[in-house]
Amino acid sequence: MAPRIVLIGPMGAGKTTVGAEVARRLNCSFADTDQLIEADQGKSISEIFIEDGEPHFRLVEESIVIDALLAESGVLSLGGGAVANDATQNAIANSSAKKIFLDISLSAVSPRVGFDSARPLLMVNPRQKWAELMNARRPIYESLADLKIDVSEKTVDEIASQIVETL
């Protein structure tokens, strides 16, 4: 059964935390594609990027995301870059799930992400790189989303409540 809700948005928007809370409230399953990738590969996202490279990561991500969109039955959180791949974009767009874009400003994401080495794409000039990624991906997030929520000034409880109320 396809997931009922798919959370998309940039790194640091809170997709994993919010997704777990929404799943708890709806009494359904929760899956995070970054966690599924780590389990599949037996190493962290950072290790995959460093040891195997981004192209390898994106191939694994494509497979995991497409499988998860078909197999997961509750709330699914996607990695921020999953939407940059044509195959995953098509799979997301064709999913019957409610697609929710968790939008966040650079100033709000800064303390959440911390801009440290745990985020491989942000290792050099992290604030500028995050802004570049967000500018490139925003139109994709917006085109795929059934609902957009600005999470910049909201708590996890407020975001989860808004999502549950809109279902």
- The CA-to-CA distance between both ends of the chain, in Å, stands at 17
Q: Which residues contact 60 (CB under 8 A, 6 or more apart)?
A: 37, 40, 41, 48
List the CATH number of the domain containing 67.
3.40.50.300
Q: How far is residue 150's CA from residue 166's CA, in Å, rounded to a whole number?
A: 15
Number of domains in the chain: 1
Query: Could you tell me if residue 120 is inside a domain?
Result: yes
Q: In what order do the strands lie in the sheet with 5-8?
A: 30-32, 75-77, 5-8, 98-103, 147-150
Inform me whether the pLDDT recorded for 21 exceeds 80. yes
Q: For residue 80, what pLDDT is reported?
A: 92
Q: List the single range of 49-53, 106-110, 152-156, 157-161 with lowest mean pLDDT.
A: 106-110
Query: Could you tell me if residue 162 is inside a domain?
Result: no
Inform me whether the pLDDT recorded for 141 exceeds 90. yes
Query: Could you tell me if residue 167 is inside a domain?
Result: no
Reported as a single tens digit per residue, the pLDDT across 87-118 is 999 999 999 999 999 999 888 877 655 555 45
Query: Could you tell me if residue 165 is inside a domain?
Result: no
What predicted TM-score, i.e. pTM, was given to this entire model? 0.90
Query: Could you tell me if residue 115 is inside a domain?
Result: yes
Query: Could you tell me if residue 18 is inside a domain?
Result: yes
Task: Provide the percentage of residues in the chain whose pLDDT is more than 90.
Answer: 71
Spell out the alpha helix ranges (H) of the chain.
15-26, 33-41, 45-52, 54-71, 86-94, 106-113, 126-144, 156-166
Q: For residue 112, what pLDDT is reported?
A: 59
Distances (CA, A) of 62 to 46, 69, 71, 111, 115: 17, 11, 14, 29, 25
Q: For residue 125, what pLDDT is reported?
A: 65
Mean pLDDT of all residues in 67-77: 93
Query: Could you tell me if residue 19 is inside a domain?
Result: yes
Q: For residue 40, what pLDDT is reported?
A: 96
Query: Could you tell me if residue 102 is inside a domain?
Result: yes
Q: For residue 110, what pLDDT is reported?
A: 73
Residue 91 is part of which domain span? Answer: 5-157
